[in-house]
Amino acid sequence: MKQYLIKGPNKGVSGTVDIEGAKNSCLVLMASSILFEGKVTFTNVPLVKDVLTMVKLLSAINSKVIISEKKKTVTIINKKRHKLAIHHKLVSTMRSGCLLMGSLLGKYQKKNIYVAKPGGCSLGMRGIDFHIAGFKALGAKSVLKKGGYVNISAKKGLVGNKFKFPKISVTGTSNLIMASVLAKGKSVLHNISVEPENIDFINWLNKCGAKIKFIGKRTIQIKGVKKLFGREHKIIPDRIEAFSYLCVGAITRGKITVKNINPKYLYSELQVLKKIGCKIDINNNSITLNAIKKLKPIKIKTGPFPSYATDNMPILMALLTTVEGKSKIEETIFSNRYMAAMELQRMGGKIKIKSKIATIIGVKKLYGADCISSDLRTTFSIILGAIAAVGESRISRVYHGERGYYNLVNKLKKLGINIKSIS
């Protein structure tokens, strides 16, 4: 099994990183391709493992998928009727597999759709109850079958309705949009996610003939249409990847520039980096971080966009283990988001978890250790700790990180990080 071997400490790291397309945007866009007849093409595609898994999913249900690694494009052609069963093996490693439920239901409304409950990162309770409740509001019925399969259909077709999410859900929002866009009549969805990836998704659908408009800050109106027309679409840059590499600069007290990123996607995160003492320069589609000053502790709370992103919390936690003083992080989204804490503790990090709050006391030195990753963002958190640590660190289960970070080892090597992939 692949591992990463990192020797530290790596200090004053300097360089530039080109940011890939957003994984979370790409996955929902690819899932929505089921709604189209004919061809759709996506550019600026991040060819990470989650995207390749989605390729397998779509291929398994009769979509033709053409990948150009050189051009970073994915073209999806739908000429055959899709298979309507998504087996557990195909969705066990990736939560975004549940998005096929919304797209298949939206396209084949009166048919029986069978989708296994999704896998992905172990972040606590991440049910699909909101999704199902939304589908039912549109006229669908669902049954949970043995083995964790959801059987869902709308025998009379989907009909527009009002639905309010009890709690903001990123994938739930995407699923309900896909189910509503070809439904009869008008739907109004309240308390939706407005993450940049979902906004990108809405813009894409409107470009293809959908009728979706905001009628409130977190409320959209969807007028069902009979057909969508395939177009080419460039995927937005990955804000989580951008923040991750900025923190490489911060934890090494160096200078990092990330290119091909919209700074607006990282407003809250950039404010946090400024507050702890990093100098931030923004130039159109690039951000430069310079950790020239002594960094200061901070208190933050995660939340839905535009608040500080939960995905970026473990990454910040690693940085704060090296910042003198007491920092506090309150996680409000996932119950099991602090998996990185135990691994950072192995390196000498002082982190105490109580309920939803992590208290971090900065230490002068971290020390290399053998660590095990449990999820996508924890992987990068551990990498950050290892980059700053004295001595050698060995990180196992790095496949989690490769689900969301393209060419990770080579990008870090180009920055001068002492890292290699070993078997």
CA distances from 423 to 118, 227, 371, 397 (A): 29, 49, 15, 11
209: left (phi over 0), alpha (psi -120 to 50) or beta: left
Please give the DSSP secondary-structure letter assigned to residue 262.
-
Other beta carbons within 10 angstroms of residue 393's beta carbon come to 28
Neighbours of 40 (CB within 10 A): 24
And the tokens for 16? 């530039």
Asked if 182 contacts 35 with a C-beta cutoff of 8 angstroms, the reply is: yes
Q: Name the CA radius of gyration of the chain, rounded.
A: 22
- What are phi and psi for residue 77, nearest 5 degrees? -120, 130
Contacts by 411-415 with C-beta closer than 8 Å and gap 24+? 411/17, 411/245, 412/248, 412/383, 412/387, 414/15, 414/17, 415/13, 415/14, 415/15, 415/17, 415/245, 415/248, 415/256
Taking CA 363 as the corner, what is the angle to CA 360 and CA 369, rounded to the nearest 5 degrees?
A: 95
| Measured CA distances, 19 to 23, 243, 271, 377 (Å) | 11, 10, 20, 16
Q: Residue 57 is encoded by which pair of tokens? A: 């999913």
Q: How far apart are CA 402 and CA 18, in angstroms?
A: 17
Position 164, amino acid: K
Output the six-digit token pair for 183: 């439904």
| CB distance 19 to 238 below 8 Å | yes
In the chain the first and final C-alpha atoms are separated, in Å, by 5
Largest CA distance in the chain: 65
Query: Would you name the residues annotated as active-site residues?
Result: 121
